[in-house]
Amino acid sequence: MKSRDGFTLLEIIVVVALFLFIFSAILGVQVASNRSWQSGYNKIIEQQEARKAMEEMVKYLRMSKPEYVAIQSDANCTSGNKISFYRFIFNQTNQSGEPGPWVGFKANPDNCRELRRYGGDVAAGGIYLAGEIERVKFMGGDCTGCNCDFTKEAACASCTSVTVDCPLIKIQIATKRPDDKEQEFALESIVNLRNYNIPSSGNVTPPNDTQSEEGEF
């Protein structure tokens, strides 16, 4: 009886096909795992940026005054609105407040999914705060029906009035990547303007789009 040496062509083809099948399965799992990891990492970065943006807006707004604030619609990015205000400076001589440099927060007009900070001490184009923004919204509370009670969401949704009687501003941020099938990440905060009861030296007009110092804002 003649002994067999080596493998037949059919055996080699079967082994190669089996190897390719196993390799493809392992590669598919690896690719899916990498995609899942990248998606999770992007989500973490997105949420961290949104939290930092909220912290920065609260920090700046908290030290302003109601008469220094203007909440306006955003013609470029309809997914939210914008806010501009003067920072508060305390005048020790006459024990009153004075408007300092202006600050503004809104979506980038060239990319509405990007939130930026603008201001008198910031270069044209503003400073990047957060990306993947679904919407950013600012609300005052001194409107009929809202009455400084932000639990009345429908009545307060379009309110832009901030006064000494209601020195509160509600901020909402929602982020979501276009390819993300999960629920959006949402943050909200109610800011109390701490200097509302300190008198201002003279009449102050809040910053708005018509002022030359605001530039593109």
In Å, how far are 15, 48, 126, 160 from 170, measured between CA atoms? Answer: 66, 20, 22, 10
The rounded mean pLDDT for the chain is 84
pLDDT by residue (tens digit) across 99-153? 888 999 999 988 999 999 998 778 888 899 998 898 899 999 999 999 999 999 8
Reported as a pLDDT band with limits 50, 70 and 90, residue 83 is very high
Q: Report the pLDDT value the prediction gives residue 2, as an integer from 0 to 100.
A: 54
Q: Total domain count for the chain? A: 1
Tell me the residue ranges of DSSP E strands in the chain: 69-73, 81-91, 96-108, 111-119, 127-130, 133-139, 168-175, 185-192
Calpha distance 96→101 (Å, rounded): 16
Tokens of 144: 């009929």
DSSP state of 163: B
Q: Which of 16-20, 25-29, 120-124 comes out lowest in average pLDDT?
A: 120-124
Task: Decide if 158 is inside a domain.
Answer: yes
Is the pLDDT reported for residue 78 higher than 90?
no
Task: Decide if 25 is inside a domain.
Answer: no
Task: Decide if 179 is inside a domain.
Answer: yes
Q: Which domain holds residue 92?
A: 40-214
Calpha distance 134→142 (Å, rounded): 26
Reported as a pLDDT band with limits 50, 70 and 90, residue 3 is low
